[in-house]
Every structure is written in structure tokens, then in C-alpha cells.
Amino acid sequence: MTPSLSQFRRVVLKVGSALLVDRARGRLNHAWLAALAEDIADLHAKGADVLVVSSGAIAMGRTVLGLPSGPLRLEESQAAAAVGQIALARTWSEVLAHHGITAGQILVTLADTEQRRRYLNARATTLKLLEMRAVPVINENDTVATSEIRYGDNDRLAARVATMIGADLLVLFSDIDGLYTAPPASDPNAEHIPVVERITPAIEAMAGGAASELSRGGMRTKVEAGKIATSGGTHMIIADGRTKNPLKRVTEGGRCTWFITPSNPATARKTWIAGALEPRGTLVVDEGAVRALQGGASLLPVGVRRIEGSFHRGDAVTIRSEARVLGRGLVAYDAEDAARIIGRPSREIEGILGYPGRTEMVHRDDMALSD
């Protein structure tokens, strides 16, 4: 049995350039985007958090600037992105505002999802927008990214974003309705695969190359995105985005490929914190904090008695009482600042540090406690 879209509480939608931009006319597919906005509004109205990873900045910018078809030099791509990002952000803002939804633009680079310090900043900003019922629209910051420090495709970026914010579903809209045993355009005997329960070497071997000039990814990058998503506890769908209301089509049983994960985002994240990161220091907490943590609370500065070691914001630290190790977490402060606010109420943080830091020393979502 495949899942139902109605059961997911946080959904990331990835929209590619080839869907957003009419290549022949060099303009935005307004009618298609308006229909997708209807789908997003319907999902949003049912209480789900929705986030969009949108390609299209370079494709839109090259049209405005009159750049020729074919590969662009790095500086041309960056110039096109600079122009296109403004147009893309305005477009998403307008189509979502039609349904009473606020859009927020977030531009990220590879480092923002790979370096823990910047990862925490990007995650906190995105989660705050979702908390305020806005729809974040994310794109790779092509104006500053170079070939050495970029994702290069928004499939993998969408998967990283989905796991970063604890999404339980990622939908990759494409120009194909899922994964086939071989590229269907060249093999008439290719068979559609409705469900992938585990990404094996055989599944990876079925992926082909890039689909069009406007897109950097193909089925290969989508399968790689599936590996990232499912390992982070996020289900993934590859669906045909070319029809109007493509999300509604999936909801009504339209053909697609589901990549199933046996985990969930919270469990996968806590497993990663507990086992994959080397602690850089220790937070020793009092008995009041022990009780609060066992009750599911975050670790506040007031509950920390002392710190040990040298660490930076975003590093993993051990959390323990005087008697035993309680678990691990990602700390919200550098060791020097943490030492200045331990034992103090969160309302005093700004006065002590001179800036309004995080309320929590370690947020409960960034913590994995021992049984």
C-alpha cells in the first residue's frame, strides 16, 4: 500500500525550470503555475506546512537579458540568476498571495546545508516561516555559487532541504511520471515502477541523463535525491508535473513513483545526532534540567551548571548530569558565549551577550537522549 498525501504534515515541492518556463516562447508558464498555486493552497488550507524548491531563475533571467540558447559561461549564469531571482520571487509571491498565502524567499548555497553552523541558521529561518504559515520558496544562490561549491541541480538541494526541516514528504515534479526500468523515450519495453522500497544498485542503474537544456538534473539526480531523502526519514515521489494541477493529480491516484522510507524525520535526525557526529564538548546540567529533558523539553541556559571543552555553534556536544550521560545535541552557542550565560534565565541573554541569541542552549529537535 502506498501512502496518501493527506497523511503528511510537512511537504516539500520541487519545481524544475522546464516546467516553469516555456522554452519556445521564452516566458513563464503562467496558467500552469496558477494551477499549481491552487494545489498548494488546498494543501496549506488542510493544515500542512508547504515549502517550494523552485528552479527557473537562470532560465527567466537569460530571457530578460537576451542571452542565446546553449551553455552559458559562469559569469553569464550568475548575471542571469541575479535578474531572474527577482522575477521568480515576485511571481511566486503574486500567485500565492492570490490565495491569501505569504511567500518568503530563501537563497542557499551548498555550505548552508552542509556546514552545521550555517545549517542551523537556514533551518531556524525556514522553520520560523513555516510556523508563521508562510510558504518558503528556496533556490540555490546561483549569483555566488561556482561549479566547485554548488549542488548543480535542485533535486538534491530539495532532498537536503526536506531532511533539514524534517519534512515527511518530498515531491519532485518532472517531465516524466516516475522511474522506469529503462529510459522510456528510447526503450519501448521500459516498465514503470510504482514503488521503490529500497534504492539498490539495480535501481540506480535504471537512471538516465539530463532531460533538457533548461534542467541540470535527470533521473540520475532524482534517484540520488531519493537516497538523501529516504535516509533522512522522508518519503519521496517522482511525478509528472506537466499537467495542470499536478499535485491534485497525484492525490487522485495519478501514476508516479513512490520512494518509501522505513523511518521518519525525527527518528532519522536523532539517530544522526546520536551516532554520526563526534562530540566537541560537554554540557553538565542540574537535576531540574534532567527532569525537564526527560519530559521532552529543550535545554535552557539556566539548567546548565558548567561546560567542558571547546566547541562552536552547531557542533555536537555531550549532555550529562553529575551522575550520568543523558545524550547528545547540537549546541546553539560557541563555548565562550555559552560559558557566559549558563545558569541564567533566557530573558537575560541579550543583555549579557549584546545580541538576541537563541532561547535554548540545545533545542529538543536537535537532541538525542539515551534510553
Q: Which residues are annotated as a binding site for ATP?
A: 14, 174-175
Helix pair 154-164, 116-131: axis angle to 10 deg: 80
The annotated binding site for substrate is made up of 55, 142, 154
Q: How far is CA 273 from the centre of its chain?
A: 18
The annotated binding site is made up of 14, 55, 142, 154, 174-175
Q: Phi and psi of 10, rounded to 5°? A: -140, 115
Cα distance between residue 224 and residue 242, in whole Å: 22
Work out whether the CA dihedral 337, 338, 341, 347 comes out positive or negative: positive
Burial of 132 (0-12, 13-18, 19+ CB in 10 A): exposed
Helix/strand/coil for 84: helix
For residue 122, CA distances in Å to 126, 127, 129, 142, 188 come to: 6, 9, 11, 17, 44
- Total residue length of the chain: 371
Question: Helices marked H in 252-361 — which ranges?
Answer: 265-275, 287-294, 335-341, 349-353
Q: How far is CA 157 from the centre of its chain?
A: 7
Helix pair 57-65, 74-97: axis angle to 10 deg: 110
Residue 275's contacts (CB-CB under 8 Å, 6 or more residues apart) are none
Q: Taking every pair of C-alpha atoms in the chain, what is the biggest distance, in angstroms?
A: 69
Provide the 8-state DSSP code for 238.
Answer: E
Cα distance between residue 73 and residue 99, in whole Å: 39
Q: 21 - beta bridge partners?
A: 28
The answer to whether the CB of 61 falls within 8 A of the CB of 81 is yes
Residues 188, 203, 250, 261, Cα dihedral to 10°: 170
The answer to whether the CB of 93 falls within 8 A of the CB of 52 is no
